Amino acid sequence: GQNIDQPTEMTATEGAIVQINCTYQTSGFNGLFWYQQHAGEAPTFLSYNVLDGLEEKGRFSSFLSRSKGYSYLLLKELQMKDSASYLCAVRENNNAGNMLTFGGGTRLMVKP
């Protein structure tokens, strides 16, 4: 089984930087994903980490430490449109397939 924790809500200011943390406990770790979900819409893929370190993609970066069971999503130069829920998901090796287990999501509110 898996246990994935992330803060429920965060608030940040337009133009600032925000870091959303995610901790997990799992066996057979096979990758960590971050998704963005605007209210009433489908989750959209942001990033994927399977090795330790930082993956950068434009304004978004994601970091992973497998030994600590820890990841964060870093959003730079925040824009109002970044107000959304950010979902941390872990993929675990098992015999059946590689489905994702999601955390509860972090609702980010960007203020002017």
Q: Applying CB under 8 A, which residues contact other proteins? A: 30, 33, 35, 41-45, 48, 87, 89, 94, 96-105
Cβ 11 to other proteins shortest distance, Å: 17
Strands 106-111 and 9-13: parallel
Cβ 99 to other proteins shortest distance, Å: 5
Residue closer to other proteins (CB basis): 42 or 112: 42
Residue closer to other proteins (CB basis): 33 or 72: 33
Cβ 52 to other proteins shortest distance, Å: 18
Record the tokens describing residue 5, joined without a space: 């924790």
DSSP label of 70: E
CB 69 within 8 A of CB 63: no
